[in-house]
Structure 1
Amino acid sequence: MLIRTPSDILSSEITPESVYLKRRQFMQGIGIGATALGLGLPATGLAASEDPRKDLEFSPVVAKADNPFYTDENTPSFAQASSYNNFYEFGTDKTDPAKNAHTLTTDPWSVQVEGDVAKPGSYPLEDIMKLMTLEERIYRLRCVEAWSMVIPWVGFSLAEFIKMFEPTSNAKYVEFTTLYRRSEMKGQRSAFSVIDWPYTEGLRMDEAMHPLAFMSVGMYGKTLPNQNGAPIRLVVPWKYGFKSIKSIVKMRFTSIRPKTSWQGIAPDEYGFYANVNPEVSHPRWSQAYERRLPSSLLSPSRIKTEMFNGYGEQVAGLYKGMNLRRHY
């Protein structure tokens, strides 16, 4: 199968946002209920399929300038957003995940919850989906390699998810862990891997409880593709993309700040906080500009990087008094 890279996808092949939004309105008008999907959620009219997560129920984003979950920036096509990815479990090249992630089994799936919570245990994804209210949020995702995308994610509030487990007062941080399954994840078998598997990430509790923090189970109204972190991943839009850990199987609540995978690999390059800060360069390249996908040689879409990825008004207060050059 030929997988096209962002540089050779024509602008004419990229779905305009206006067309995408009209498609959403059309799909909502079909009138097929969520009970046909077995999710037990209110009907919003997406078509049923064999996979209960294939076409997801959600409340569409309200197109208001003051809504932090909305942007009118151009989105890449679904094909482009699902073929240019960082997911080292399936390879280090941007096209490797789309080529290799078909081997991943995502059903059944559960999330193990441990640590300083009143309700630890193993939570099956289908039960989580029944309890959470799905919605769509259009977020920017900024990667440390100086490229970014604007993606219509489908999922639910991380804060509401965390409340299910009733964290204790000792819970100061939450650590996330990715699936470790060498038989299905080619990158985990590589002799050249620099990551000590499984991949881990973490947030301070006030970051995790912020209204912008999001658990995604889909994108563009479809179930999340394997290469994009199926079946459940984190989205933290004011941080660099490596904080938005994919294919999550465990959440551990703790009083001690967890050591994340990239901190272990290169602590002088990747700090715990990973807030987008154009004033602090990566040791090997500048972060002052980014290439917004879709782009091409003739239309590179090079733009200035915004502090906190443009979400400073919402999240700057989380870091008041902190030296963001030291706490990078």
Structure 2
Amino acid sequence: MARRWTNTLTAADVTPKATFMNRRQIMAGLGGMAGLAGFGGLPGPARAETLEPNSWEDVTNYCNYYEFGTGKGDPAQYAGQLTTAPWSVKIDGMVERPGDYDFQQILGEMTLEERIYRFRCVEAWSMVVPWTGFELADLLALAGVKSEAKYVAFETLYRPSEMPGTAYRVLDWPYREGLRLDEAMHPLTLMATGIFGKDLPNQNGAPLRLVVPWKYGFKSIKSIVRITLTDKEPQTSWNMANAREYGFYSNVNPEVSHPRWSQASERRLGGGLFASRQDTLMFNGYGDEVASLYEGMDLAKFF
């Protein structure tokens, strides 16, 4: 399928694999944040700084995936038991061709490409990551979106026998997220199947996850098993858990502070805990591409 968006980042901007996977030094100092299910995004031409490479064991032992536990090492310890093949995604609701779509069938219909995005976490640090995947719009086209659809709802796999973290009611399982239809159809919105040229590790959302680079990380839902087209704004897990802190839109916005911290500045990954801060860019710097989606909206109210 034809590419609809051209990235300005290059391989030179990519955060090294070991640095991307290792967040122990920075997050230990920042204290972590309950509710980060992935990463959020921001572009930019600046070359990412680097940390000293860690061992593979360290690299894969610091992730957020609460279905496997709230400890940073829990996903790496327990996600290996997750069965990711065979895998299917139920697409239902307001679509012309509802059904269970086999993951290999989906891949057979799509043209995979690498997208290099600069990502920003809600704790205010950023990195650059190369994802492999395809546009969500192409998958939705495969199912056929009906004209009355206005939103897209997503669900993560819920399999307690393989996900020990679900024994605890940290969230109302299964994990849920949602986008407005125009956000979902935007060419920046990616269904990722790989990272750094390899298949997604289980702890990073294998085999299929969402990537929405102008939003905070918890919007990029992992291990998707259901996509529903609807005419009503869907419930989302962190908004259900704490609506005051986590809005439905969750766009990166330096002008809207989280109730417990400012989001106006960030650190570049690789500079260490005491690296100088820089201003956060509206929509993570993707304003030229996505600002028109929110024209006329009060972004302090619809945060």
Read off the aligned partner of 2:278 and give its amino acid letter. Answer: I
Read off the aligned partner of 1:91 and give its amino acid letter. Answer: G
Pairwise CA distance, 1:200: 0.3
Read off the aligned partner of 1:274 and give its amino acid letter. Answer: S
Read off the aligned partner of 2:182 and give its amino acid letter. Answer: D
1:270 to 1:311, Cα distance in 2 relative to 1, 3 A: same
In 1, distance between residues paired with 2:118 and 2:61?
Answer: 17
In 2, distance between residues paired with 1:88 and 1:301?
Answer: 31
| 1:176 aligned partner | 154
Pairwise CA distance, 1:80: 4.1
| 1:32 aligned partner | none
In 2, distance between residues paired with 1:248 and 1:167?
Answer: 18
> Identity over the aligned pairs, expressed in percent?
60
Correspondences of 1:170-209 after superposition (within 5 Å): 170-190=148-168, 193-209=169-185
1:287 to 1:295, Cα distance in 2 relative to 1, 3 A: same
| 1:262 aligned partner | 238
Pairwise CA distance, 1:281: 0.6
| 2:84 aligned partner | 106
For 1:315, which of 287, 290, 293 is the aligned residue? 290
Pairwise CA distance, 1:83: 4.1
Q: Indicate whether 1:76 and 2:76 are aligned.
A: no
Read off the aligned partner of 2:15 and give its amino acid letter. Answer: T
Is the Cα contact below 8 Å between 2:249 and 2:302 reproduced in 1? yes
| 2:93 aligned partner | 115
Pairwise CA distance, 1:94: 2.9
Is the Cα contact below 8 Å between 1:76 and 1:293 reproduced in 2? no
Correspondences of 1:13-162 after superposition (within 5 Å): 67-68=7-8, 70=10, 72-78=12-18, 80-81=20-21, 82-162=60-140
Q: How many residues align?
A: 260
Read off the aligned partner of 1:253 and give its amino acid letter. Answer: L
Is the Cα contact below 8 Å between 1:294 and 1:301 reproduced in 2? no
Pairwise CA distance, 1:78: 4.3
More displaced 10-residue stretch of structure 1: 73-82 or 163-172: 73-82
Q: Which has the higher contact order (CA 8 A, sep 6+)?
A: 2
| 2:51 aligned partner | none
Task: Tell me the C-alpha RMSD between the 2 structures.
Answer: 1.7
Is the Cα contact below 8 Å between 2:64 and 2:70 reproduced in 1? yes
1:213 to 1:252, Cα distance in 2 relative to 1, 3 A: same
Is the Cα contact below 8 Å between 2:7 and 2:116 reproduced in 1? no
In 2, distance between residues paired with 1:70 and 1:324?
Answer: 31
Q: Secondary structure at the match of 1:164?
A: helix
1:83 to 1:155, Cα distance in 2 relative to 1, 3 A: farther
Unaligned 5+ residue runs, structure 2? 1-5, 22-59
User: What TM-score do you get using the length of structure 2 for normalisation?
Assistant: 0.81
In 1, distance between residues paired with 2:199 and 2:19?
Answer: 14
Unaligned 5+ residue runs, structure 1? 1-65
| 2:57 aligned partner | none
Per-residue CA distance 1:122-167 (angstroms, 9 max, x = gap): 0010111111000000112222222332110001111111100111
| 1:291 aligned partner | 267
Read off the aligned partner of 2:254 and give its amino acid letter. Answer: P
Read off the aligned partner of 1:73 and give its amino acid letter. Answer: D
